[in-house]
Amino acid sequence: MRVALRVIGSAVLLSFLVASSFTGIGSTIPGTFSAGSYQVGGVLLCSGTAPTISSGFGTSPSIPTNNGTCAFTVNVGSTATASGVIGLPTATTGWVVACNDITTTSSTTFITKQTAGTTTTATIGNFNTSAASANWTANDILRCSAFGY
């Protein structure tokens, strides 16, 4: 089986093929599966290992659902804070993590973004409409994707 990552405009699609090549628009970047992870050029892109909560977010935060690092949710917990650290498998250089708060949009809970990271963690923060750090609303759900590089 051949696995490939297709880049079409701003969309990224994983494709599983029996055929030896793609036809159609876009570029093909060949990749491989290894021990439940997807690699491109020998570099971890997406891992089958579930992310963890390393610190922050609030009281009793959790990862209620996941498809490894490719797609997962974070429940920020009760008495939520303004940031938290997600634990991830070891990447070659680091992680690019995108999270969207699907529960609350307000002047206080306005944008969620990655603010720091290492080869095994990503720090995620919430910001208000003035771009200042602000607490999430208790038990907000964040939908996230994490890609190693």
Position 18 pLDDT exceeds 80:
no
Q: Is the dihedral of CA 64, 68, 73, 76 positive or negative?
A: positive
What percentage of the chain carries pLDDT values higher than 90? 70
pLDDT attached to residue 44: 87
- Of the candidate ranges 16-20, 30-34, 75-79, 143-147, the one whose mean pLDDT is the lowest: 16-20
Position 71 pLDDT exceeds 70:
yes
**Mean pLDDT of the region 93-121:** 97
Position 52 pLDDT exceeds 70:
yes
Position 63 pLDDT exceeds 90:
yes
- For every residue of 19-76, DSSP letters joined together read SSS--SSSEEEEEEEETTEEEETTEEEEESSPPEEEEESSBS-B---BBTBSSEEEE-
pLDDT attached to residue 136: 97
Position 11 pLDDT exceeds 80:
no
pLDDT attached to residue 33: 64
Question: Which of 122, 117, 127, 128 has its CA nearest to residue 144?
Answer: 122
Q: Cα(148)–Cα(111) distance, rounded to whole angstroms?
A: 22
pLDDT band of 39, cuts 50, 70, 90: confident
Average predicted confidence (pLDDT) for the chain: 85
pLDDT band of 41, cuts 50, 70, 90: confident
pLDDT attached to residue 26: 54
Q: Cα(91)–Cα(44) distance, rounded to whole angstroms?
A: 6
**Mean pLDDT of the region 78-88:** 97
